Amino acid sequence: DGGITQSPKYLFRKEGQNVTLSCEQNLNHDAMYWYRQDPGQGLRLIYYSQIVNDFQKGDIAEGYSVSREKKESFPLTVTSAQKNPTAFYLCASSIAGYNQPQHFGDGTRLSIL
Partner 1 sequence: KQEVTQIPAALSVPEGENLVLNCSFTDSAIYNLQWFRQDPGKGLTSLLLIQSSQREQTSGRLNASLDKSSGRSTLYIAASQPGDSATYLCAVESYNTDKLIFGTGTRLQVFP
Binding site for partner 1 (CB under 8 A): 4, 6, 40-45, 48, 58-59, 90, 92, 98-99, 101-107, 109
Decide whether 13 or 103 has the Cβ nearer to partner 1: 103
Of 80 and 102, the one with the shorter C-beta distance to partner 1 is 102
Instruction: Considering the complex, state which of residue 8 and residue 18 has its C-beta at the smaller distance from partner 1.
Output: 8
- Kindly state the smallest distance separating residue 29's Cβ from partner 1, in Å: 13
Task: Write down the least CB distance from residue 89 to partner 1, Å.
Answer: 10
Smallest separation, CB 16 to partner 1 (Å): 28
* Residue among 19 and 90 whose Cβ is closer to partner 1: 90
Phi-psi region of 27 (alpha: psi -120 to 50; beta: other; left: phi over 0): alpha
Q: Quick check: 88 and 6 in contact, CB under 8 A? A: no
CA distance 2 to 13: 30
- List the beta strands (DSSP E) in 2-102: 4-7, 10-13, 19-25, 31-38, 42-51, 54-57, 64-66, 76-78, 87-94
